Amino acid sequence: MRNKRQSAEKLMQRIFFSIAGASIAILFLIMVFLFMEGLPIFGVVSVGDFLFGHYWYPTSDPPDFGIFPLIIASVSVTALSSVFAIPLGVMTAIYLAELASKRVAEIVKPTVELLAALPSVVIGFFGMVVVAPFLQDVFDIPTGLNLFNSALMLAFMSIPTICSLSEDAIYSVSPGLKEGSLALGATRWETILRVILPASISGISTAVILGMSRAIGETMVVLMVAGGAGMIPESIFSPVRPLPASIAAEMAEAPFRGDHYYALFAIGIVLFVFTLLFNLVADFIAHKYRQVGEASL
């Protein structure tokens, strides 16, 4: 009887282990494939020229495979979107966790999270049809499909991530700390600024970085609203062509296993490295500044 139970335990453990193992194996194979299809481009162009070359003309003769403008586009779109998304996301989180009444929070929180459920193509469509003409009119610029517009749309997409994860972090600050602060004659604001935010900073940073890594990898929105010009942007209203947009736009027309095809996969590698870095940093911060309980007795 006892043996039977034990072997059932073992069997369960093995089943779960192989399921977990399967997803790791699949991930690994995708990586192998990505590198197999991407690395051959470096036989044609050096890593330095690829990363820092200023011209991306993959179909010219001879072709130019410099993705620097695309990298700058991705970085600037992500940076500008976080300028919108971080304050909005974190402030909403503070409001939800600390200030809103229970009833309001119960309505607002799911609504913000619903933003995450919007398909990116819908957000892109909104940017194209509503925001672009509006920007064009207001700022008197040649096109509303540009860096600013895509940053705004990406901010919409990363706010739910930032807000929801930050809210969890703020909410989990022990009520003892809050009471301790109030009992010393601190106001609600002072308590939030001086105790609650510092205590939840690791969770908030993780939230911000995950939100940003979502923005940098997002494809459909930037494909639709960034404008698609493979040039280094001159202002926040310049049209740009971020890395994922280039892959999505060009993959269909790139000859199979041609240089262009390899170059697009190499862009994929660059993107992969970016998001990997973001995640590593998030992990590092989460561990280094881990939230500490109210007392280690």
Partner 1 sequence: MSPKPKMTSSNLDFYYGDFQALQDVNLEFHERQVTALIGPSGCGKSTYIRCLNRMNDLIPISRVEGRILLDDEDIYEPSLDVVMLRRRVGMVFQKPNPFPKSIFENTAYGLRVNGVKDKGFIQNRVEESLKRAALWDEVKDRLDDTALGLSGGQQQRLCIARALAVEPEVLLMDEPASALDPIATQKIEELIHELKELYTIIIVTHSMQQAARVSDMTAFFYMGKLIEFGDTDTMFTRPKLKQTEDYITGRFG
Given the rule CB under 8 A, which residues bind partner 1? 101-102, 174, 176-177, 179-187, 190, 194-195, 198-199, 292, 294-297
Q: Given the complex with partner 1, which of 48 and 175 has the nearer CB atom?
A: 175
3-state secondary structure of 144: coil
What's the min distance (Å) between Cβ of 285 and partner 1?
Answer: 15
Task: Name the helix (H) or strand (E) containing 64.
Answer: strand 64-65
- Decide: residue 110, CB within 10 A, 0-12 exposed, 13-18 middle, 19+ buried: exposed
CB of 289 to partner 1, least distance (A): 9
**Minimum CB–partner distance for residue 166 and partner 1 (Å):** 17
273 close to 71: Cβ distance less than 8 angstroms: no
* Nearer to partner 1 (CB atom), residue 91 or residue 292: 292
Shortest distance, position 163 Cβ to partner 1, whole Å: 23
Minimum CB distance to partner 1 smaller for 51 or for 201 = 201
By beta-carbon proximity to partner 1, the closer residue of 96 and 267 is 96
Q: Give least dist CB 175 to partner 1, A.
A: 8
Which of 268, 261, 283 shows the shortest CA–CA distance to 32? 268
Pick between residue 98 and residue 167 the one whose CB is nearest to partner 1: 98
Query: In angstroms, what is the minimal distance from the CB of 296 to partner 1?
Result: 7
Q: 195 and 181 in contact (C-beta within 8 Å)?
A: yes
By the 8 A CB rule, do 70 and 243 touch? yes
Whichever of 120 and 181 has its CB closer to partner 1, that residue is 181
- Spell out the alpha helix ranges (H) of the chain: 2-38, 47-52, 68-94, 102-117, 120-126, 132-139, 147-171, 175-183, 188-191, 197-199, 201-217, 220-225, 243-250, 259-288
